[in-house]
Structure 1
Amino acid sequence: MLTGFSSPARTLLYVIGQIAGSAVGALALKIVVAESVAEKYGLGGCYLKNTIYADGVVQEVGIEPGPGLLAEFVFTLVVLFIAFSIALDPKQFQVTGPILAPFMIGAVVALMSFMSGGLMAVNGGYTGAGLNPARCFGPAVAMGGSLWDGHWVFWAGPFLSALAIGVIYHAIPPHHVELYRSRADIFTQIGNMIKGKSTASE
């Protein structure tokens, strides 16, 4: 929305769909997995801190909201920047194409997940950057408890990253928003590529 790629109404529907789908999926997962597994892994939810039992002593380990917010902002910003630079920029899309672009974005998401998750080795209870608020929201709804502690961080970080991307693509030359207004060309190119392959196979 901030880059002119999506209307406010479409963005709102997209956000509602994501968080609703996340909640339904997490509740369904809670039903089918063992309670002990759900409690142990929090259905894949997002923690800043968690409680562990070591040598009969209860310890709370993890990171504070400040460092967590910074990590969420930085790692999500990298993912968004790559996505807009490679896939959503019509000029770059002509180079990467409909196959390489999604692969590269997926690789970056995986890399950011592993890198942020590496902080867990040092800080114990931290599960790494969520990269998408919906991924954290569903498990929090289904499991509750400590998954809500610092939950705002997993919303604020991506939101600030989105603002930063909006500034980058609106305020810093070249003004890519003009390219996004021709975004239909991307889907036209994909259609033409598919048609071309179908014709060649026949």
Structure 2
Amino acid sequence: MPDQQPERDGPTYPAPIMALREELRRRQFWRAVLAETLGSLIFVSAVLGSSVPGPNGASPGPLYPALAGGMVAVSLGHCFGEMSGAQVNPAVTLAFLATRRLDLLRAVAYILAQCLGATLGTGILYLALPLKSSAECYVNKVSSEGNAGQALGMEALATFQLVFTIFSVEEQRRREGSEPGNLAIGFSLSAGILTAGLFSGGSMNPARSLGPAIITGIWEHHWVYWIGPVLGAILAGVSHEFFFVASASRQKLVACLTCKDIEIVETASVSRSSLSTITQTAMRAKQAHKHDHH
């Protein structure tokens, strides 16, 4: 009798591809992507709607967009924070990717969703405008009194303080679990728009600049609103995670750069920090007891 060949269930795939297929089948993944799309649409439409000139053509300045951006950031944190983190900003997503708080698949999906939502939000407002010429106010522009280099620096600086606040809030959430921190993020966003508004428009969000550029066709100095926010966001994320947070250590930075398991190193660093704190507390109590005895 000829040898019987074992039956095959189907083609086998490498482990990374299998993990990718499993992630794409998860309902939570697509719900998070939809949350980023809808969140970006709401955020961009709110910020752009607040920047439309008044009845006499007077510009509202950076105050109205700053208030609108901060308020909508707080509300989006409550609405979509548990689903996707309510990032609604490619610069924030890239900062989480650089510090390995987010995997590559989700980062790419989130950025595409954010850009799509921003474009849809801009398009809806453009169709609702009675005067299409007013759509130019949507586009972030370099100040006529400055240059692209100054605008780039202000975008990087404003985004740095925003993303550093976001990482600090996320760290506090992991430690305490009950502190929402959405107000801190909203205030930080408003402060950034007010700080950089007169120099660059205070974008701090590449998707917020991309949507109006696609709809209006105005691409002047558009590179400023990608390089500046992304540079500031990555610097903020890396400095917070590897220099300022309680679990920061050289081993953690090396693990990130060598693509090793960063959570094990982070847990060990926190454990050593907690043990050191307990030891110091015990020594202080012992010294106080001896002092009282004398």
Q: CA deviation at 1:31?
A: 0.9
Name the structure 2 match of 1:111: 191
TM-score, normalised to structure 2's length? 0.48
Q: Secondary structure at the match of 1:83?
A: helix
Q: Structure with the greater relative contact order (CA < 8 A, sep ≥ 6): 1 or 2?
A: 1
Name the structure 2 match of 1:57: none
Deviations along 1:45-75, one digit per CA (max 9) or x if unpaired, are 21114xxxxxxxxxxx242110011000000
Structure 1: stretches of 5+ with no match in the other structure: 50-60, 121-125, 183-202
Q: Equivalents in 2 of 1:97, 1:91: separation in Å?
A: 6
Deviations along 1:145-166, one digit per CA (max 9) or x if unpaired, are 3xx1101000001111132134
Bigger CA radius of gyration: 2
Q: CA deviation at 1:169?
A: 3.7
Relative to its length, the structure with more strand (as a share) is 1
The aligned amino acid for 2:125 is L
Name the structure 1 match of 2:289: none
Q: CA deviation at 1:179?
A: 7.0
Q: Secondary structure at the match of 1:113?
A: helix
Count residues in correspondence.
157
Q: CA deviation at 1:107?
A: 0.9
Residues 31, 64 of structure 1: alpha-carbon distance in 2 compared, 3 angstrom cutoff? same
Residues 73, 102 of structure 1: alpha-carbon distance in 2 compared, 3 angstrom cutoff? same
In angstroms, what is the RMSD of aligned CA positions?
2.6
Equivalent residue runs for 1:15-164 within 5 Å = 15-35=111-131, 38-40=132-134, 42-49=136-143, 61-85=144-168, 87-90=169-172, 94=176, 97-98=179-180, 101-117=181-197, 120=198, 126-145=199-218, 148-164=219-235
The aligned amino acid for 1:23 is T
Q: CA deviation at 1:80?
A: 0.3
Q: Equivalents in 2 of 1:64, 1:96: separation in Å?
A: 44
Q: Equivalents in 1 of 2:139, 2:178: separation in Å?
A: 33
Residues 84, 27 of structure 1: alpha-carbon distance in 2 compared, 3 angstrom cutoff? same
Q: Equivalents in 2 of 1:73, 1:96: separation in Å?
A: 31
Q: Equivalents in 2 of 1:133, 1:164: separation in Å?
A: 16
Name the structure 2 match of 1:191: none
- Percent identical among aligned pairs is 24
Name the structure 2 match of 1:52: none
Q: Equivalents in 1 of 2:114, 2:157: separation in Å?
A: 22
Q: CA deviation at 1:43?
A: 5.0
The aligned amino acid for 2:108 is L
Q: Equivalents in 1 of 2:159, 2:125: separation in Å?
A: 26
Residues 134, 93 of structure 1: alpha-carbon distance in 2 compared, 3 angstrom cutoff? farther
TM-score, normalised to structure 1's length? 0.68
Name the structure 2 match of 1:194: none
Q: Equivalents in 1 of 2:134, 2:129: separation in Å?
A: 11
Q: Secondary structure at the match of 1:131?
A: coil
Contact between 2:167 and 2:240, CA under 8 Å: does it hold in 1? no
The aligned amino acid for 1:7 is D
